[in-house]
Amino acid sequence: MGLKMNVFNRYAEYYDALYADKNYKQECDFIEKALRKYSKIKVKSILELGCGTGGHAIPLSLRKYEMTGIDASKVMLNAAKDKIISSGMKLNLKRGDIRNFKFTRKFDSIICMFAVLNYVTSNNDLEKTLKNVKRHLKKGGLFICDIWNGLAVMRILPSIRTKTVKKGMTKIIRTAEPELDAANHLCHNHFTMVILEKDKVVEEIKETHSVRYLFPQEITYYLEKAGFEVLEICEFPKLGCRVDENIWNISVIARG
């Protein structure tokens, strides 16, 4: 098992429409609060792993951070570049693998949002990724990520979900059917998207996204093994909130 580089294929074309309701402002506020509370260095440069279409990178750039983003999906990066061009901003985007990307510089902070780390499904790849993050982080800088909490996944259990969104005359109906592989801490999400134009079906897309849920003690172990100090594990996106088996999305803040 490992990281599938092009997991977002046709799905990526409809990504922004599907997540138009995501509160990126609130999440960027959370990132800034964590940086102010825990970073030992002044934060100017931020590297985002799995930057997607720029949902976090663009607003953080508008907040005067020097943003660099990497992503495995060419479609995602092209969408991000279109947004950057239309806004007149400057962001450095690169296509790459979060396990082995290489920059000739280090960053004040590195973030990995929207459960991107959960797509790293093997122990070996998780170790590679976190060691690579550590290599690119300045001493005293923070690594911030949000992940699926294994405690909640095993208690609540994934369920079939359907989401319908509209974009102009286009309607997108997405159904997610989870297949739990508890022994390997995996959830295989089988997505079916039906695309309608003027209520007529024009396309059906099927993709499977396999993610690894992580338990608090488990991610702490891997981060400490990579040389990090874990500062806080909390409900995402709320600093200081206790994590238990009822909280599905959690954030991890670690110092390099």
> What's the CA gap between 26 and 49, in Å, rounded?
19
Tell me the CATH number at 91: 3.40.50.150
82-130 pLDDT per residue, tens: 999 887 788 999 999 999 999 999 999 999 999 999 999 999 999 999 9
Q: Are residues 134 and 187 in the same domain?
A: no
Tell me the CATH number at 204: 2.20.25.110
pTM for this structure? 0.96
* Token couple for 120: 């790293």
Percent of the chain with pLDDT over 70: 96
Q: Are residues 142 and 238 in the same domain?
A: yes
Q: Are residues 15 and 64 in the same domain?
A: yes
Report if residue 163 sits inside a domain.
yes
Phi, psi of 131, rounded to the nearest 5 degrees: -65, -40
Q: Are residues 162 and 125 in the same domain?
A: no
Q: How many residues does the chain have?
A: 256
Q: Are residues 161 and 39 in the same domain?
A: no
Domain that holds residue 202: 155-211
Number of domains, the chain = 2
What is the DSSP code string of 135-158? HTEEEEEEEEEEEEBHHHHHHH--
* CB-CB neighbours of 182 under 10 Å: 12
Report if residue 36 sits inside a domain.
yes
Torsion-angle region of 165 (φ positive above 0: left; ψ -120 to 50: alpha; else: beta): beta
With 70 as the cut, is the pLDDT of residue 158 above it?
yes
Check if the beta carbon of residue 75 is closer than 8 Å to that of residue 12: yes
